[in-house]
Amino acid sequence: MEDFNEAYKMRVGTIILTFAAGFCDALTFVTANALFSAHITGNFILFAYEVAVTHHLTAWGKLISLPVFMLSVVLSGVLVKRIKNKYNLLVIEGVILIIASLINFFGRPFLGDGSPALYFSYCISMVIVIAMALQNVFGRSYTKDTFGTTTMMTGNLISASLLISGYFLRKNWEKAELISLRRLLVTMAGFLFGCICGALLGKEIGLTAAVIPGITLLLFFCGTTELL
């Protein structure tokens, strides 16, 4: 029974985490002038593009996301050493996402559609960046608790492609390889589904939509383990 529970946590937890990362990445991209919150290094390219092509001052918001992320990772690394239960890290992530949603819900209506609204969206997005930093640290600290990385899909895509190439070379699947490929496909599917939901809901209700992955994280990770 214990093995079943751990397998269940890994499978469903991976889907929830990839959904949350894809959701948040697409959400901030759609609502905060193309800012990545999970695939954080993508902001290097977006910053360079805006400096070279659009010359918008908002480009600096993308650059600021990098030290915000780094500092959050440093603090999360300290937190990992102090918490009693590893899933507390993901509960905290969920709380941060809900806080970001509430701030946006109550504050955004007073700002209209000008520059103040855009800068406000950048600030809320930085809170989401902090939440994604927690998830990145969880993935690096507890590698056996998920099917793979949950915030950036490039590595998973490469691994899946190599497994497929191995099949064409040998014309058969090893059992372990087939399991790995299925896990990678589930991981990428969860991220893609999150991206679609985050983009659509971000367009409709803005950053307030961050409440959805926040509540999802809380419901699952509070419900599957004792947190004290």
- Lookup result for tokens 């890994």: 10
Cα separation, 149 vs 136, whole angstroms: 8
Higher pLDDT, 5 or 85: 85
Q: What is the mean pLDDT of the chain?
A: 88
pLDDT tier at 58, thresholds 50, 70, 90? low
What is the percentage of the chain residues whose pLDDT exceeds 70? 92
Q: Is the pTM higher than 0.75? A: yes
Cα separation, 111 vs 218, whole angstroms: 30
Nearest 10 degrees: Cα torsion 184, 188, 190, 195: 170
pLDDT 10s digits, 136-172: 999 999 988 998 889 989 999 999 999 888 777 777 7
pLDDT tier at 227, thresholds 50, 70, 90? very low
pLDDT tier at 118, thresholds 50, 70, 90? confident
Task: Check whether 223 has a pLDDT greater than 70.
Answer: no
Instruction: Give the lowest-confidence range in 108-117, 122-131, 138-147.
Output: 108-117
State residue 168's pLDDT score. Answer: 76
Calculate mean pLDDT across residues 124-145. Answer: 94
Reduced to 3 states, what is the DSSP secondary structure of residue 136?
helix
State residue 55's pLDDT score. Answer: 62
What is the percentage of the chain residues whose pLDDT exceeds 90? 57
Q: In Å, how far are 14, 145, 166 from 154, measured between CA atoms? A: 16, 19, 19
Calculate mean pLDDT across residues 18-33. Answer: 95
For the chain, which domains are there? 2-223 (1.20.1250)
Higher pLDDT, 26 or 42: 26
**Quick one: the chain helix, strand, coil %, rounded to 5?**
80, 0, 20
| Amino acid, single-letter form, for residue 148 | G
State residue 218's pLDDT score. Answer: 94
Calculate mean pLDDT across residues 196-217. Answer: 96
Q: In Å, how far are 19, 117, 127, 181 from 101, measured between CA atoms? A: 17, 15, 10, 35
pLDDT tier at 228, thresholds 50, 70, 90? very low
